[in-house]
Amino acid sequence: MTHFLDIHKTDPADLRNMLDQAGAMKTARAGMPKGTPDADQPLANHMVALIFEKPSTRTRVSFDLGVRQMGGQTMVLSGSEMQLGHGETIADTARVLSRYVDLIMIRTFEEDVLLELAEHASIPVINGLTNRSHPCQIMADVMTYEEHRGPIKGKKVVWCGDGNNVFASFAHAAGQFGFDLTFAGPEVLDPEQVFIDEARAKGVTVEIDRNPERAVEGADLVVTDTWISMHDSQTARERRHNLLRPYQVDEHLMSHANPDALFMHCLPAHRNEEATDGVMDGPHSVIFDEAENRLHAQKAIMRWCLGV
């Protein structure tokens, strides 16, 4: 079964083919109204279940629109509607949905839910996000970088902030696409060592640097993410702000990167916290290209999963 569960679990040649196809589909749609169907309708007669245990804007809209543009139909299900794993088992839910739909995208909390769903489904499953990784986002990020600056192989990417699920997928991508990665953040928020080790095992440089100005020297891409989760308590939020404030991406920090360095943030952002308005709206920023490319990258991922 052709699941898309994590970048490091997918062959690099397949990843490259997805990005090539995403770029071709984006180019073919240039200037068209958003609701215009693609000339090619590869998902005609296909039904896609979009499961959201976690709220979403970009993931929901981009997947839903992508399916429709390619001629398919969607069924959007929330965690409260399904109570996944709290009544019927996840394994049985996977077997039932496999009888109804052709593809499942799930945005959930625990990675185990994703893995169990994929294990028991007889249709492809796509990881729309878990607490440990966010592969669709990073496929869009690599696509965005290469649109603006050419091949990402051999470039230096610097992550500022929390070693979270988005960083984990950047580490997976570093190994598969061949770019170097530096994490700049407080020790208490370091990424899991396994993510670093897996990337290093594939021959790329992955470093940790507590000095953000030194970390971004020579950077081709600087990336950050929100410091807080919607589920954090007020006390937790204040603690994280105190820990992460030295790693805010501001104009001064970006001046230490390469002059043509790009800035990315997967959004939603808490402006003037993890990054300043001056950076987010400045000449280095490609955050809205990055958001748009979720649509095109995910369309290519769905086509790869379904073999269409």
The catalytically annotated residue of 58, 225, 296, 303 is 225
For the question of residue 305 being annotated catalytic, the response is no
The catalytically annotated residue of 69, 137, 176, 248 is 137
Structure-token match 């995403």, residue found: 22
> Does an H or E element contain 220, and which?
none
For the question of residue 16 being annotated catalytic, the response is no
The catalytically annotated residue of 58, 120, 132, 134 is 134
Question: Could you tell me the two tokens for 232?
Answer: 């954090």
For the question of residue 294 being annotated catalytic, the response is yes
In sequence order, what are the beta bridge partners of 105? 50, 126
The catalytically annotated residue of 120, 284, 294, 303 is 294
**What is the DSSP code (8-state) at residue 60?**
H
For the question of residue 40 being annotated catalytic, the response is no
- Cβ atoms within 10 A of the Cβ of 118, count? 20
Distance CA(287)–CA(307), nearest Å, equals 30
For the question of residue 136 being annotated catalytic, the response is no
Contact yes or no for 122/100 (Cβ under 8 A): no
Contact yes or no for 18/293 (Cβ under 8 A): no
For the question of residue 107 being annotated catalytic, the response is yes
Distance CA(108)–CA(93), nearest Å, equals 14
Give whole-number Cα distances, 12 to 8, 62, 64, 115, 173, in Å: 8, 24, 26, 21, 9
The catalytically annotated residue of 3, 8, 58, 107 is 107
Q: Which of 198, 193, 222, 196 is nearest to 283 (CA)?
A: 222
The catalytically annotated residue of 266, 296, 298, 305 is 266
* Active-site amino acid positions: 107, 134, 137, 225, 266, 294
